Amino acid sequence: MLKRILLTLATLLPLAAQQTPPTGPIDCLMSFYFVDEFGSGNGTAQIDNRVTGCDQWTIVYQADAAISGYTLAFQYTTGINVPGAFIAYPATNVQNKSTSFGTASSGLATYCNLATCGTSFVTINTPWVRVSVAGATGVGAVRGTLYGYRTGYTGGGGGNGGGGGGGTGCPNPCPVVGTAAAGSPPSGDPVQIGGSDGTDIRTIATDTNGNTLEIELGTGTFNGGQQAVTGSAANLGSNASKEVCVTANVENTANVFVGNSSVASSGGSIGFELAPGLGVCSKVSNTNLVYVIAVTTGQTISYTYRN
């Protein structure tokens, strides 16, 4: 028999108060530490699962090099006040099982009670679960952790702040899948962002750094002209546009000011000041929204616009 069993058992508080590990918030946790001068050594550590209701479990363990001949098993049973006779989980409900789990010097295995276990899974009633070590010989310890989850921790059952989905939970990791109709953003995980022109839906284009590309097409012709600038504000005429660029001619002898209808060369409504050769662009819907003025007459600007 085991000379000592050191056991730490923790049934976690509601998920909002817990940290979130990579696989999701842990609902049930137990660390086990079996110590013996093993001579037909046996030991168990169990969890009362009637409150937490975990239905997916993972065991990870490590044994000292001097320990041999043992079998570590994950078991379950029913029981109203105390557990009944424990039996092993069926093999159809085991996932990610390491080689020679339970007899090797270390191992990891996941046990589940969900349809996501596979096509041959068995529904198991698990009000009590435990880790059992039997038949060990040698001097040393077997240490490990058992942790578990309730259905829906990834959002599948709507519990634990999930997404209100189906009753069998969501695989881990939980994929988010979009539509797959023709012309729609590609489905799969992750779902890509799409946009619509009112008829077709396409993915949003980005550059290699993930920055959204902005592509604006013009009419295919060059639009623009020149305009004399005087001491009175005047607009550039009426032309539908998306963007207008104004450049002060290099031959100018005075600076030109660009702005809205209130632009002035002095006072409180001074516009964007352009020295000879400098320019400025503005995204406006018509060239007549852009006004120019100079301190003295005899100046000239050149402008281009896209529509």
pLDDT for 119: 65
The pLDDT tens digits for 71-128 are 999 999 999 889 999 999 888 888 888 999 999 999 999 988 876 666 677 888 889 9
Cβ atoms of 12 and 120 within 8 Å: the answer is no
What pLDDT, on the 0 to 100 scale, is given for residue 189? Answer: 59
Q: Is the pLDDT of residue 152 over 60?
A: no
pLDDT at 46: 87
- Whole-number pLDDT of residue 162: 41
Confidence check: pLDDT of 21 > 50:
no
Least confident of 115-124, 177-186, 268-277: 177-186
**pLDDT of amino acid 200:** 76
Q: Hey, what domains does the chain have and what are their CATH numbers? A: 4-149 (2.60.120), 175-215 (no CATH), 224-306 (2.60.120)
2: pLDDT strictly greater than 60: no
Is residue 75 within 8 Å of residue 126, measured between CB atoms? no
- The single-letter DSSP state of residue 193 is P
Q: Are 47 and 32 in contact (CB under 8 A)?
A: no
pLDDT at 265: 84
Statement: residue 193 has pLDDT above 90: no
pLDDT at 263: 92
4, pLDDT greater than 50: no
Between CA 249 and CA 260 the distance in angstroms is: 20
Instruction: Write the CB contacts of 255 (distance below 8 Å, at least 6 apart in sequence).
Output: 248, 273, 274, 275, 276, 294, 295
Return the CA Rg of the chain: 37
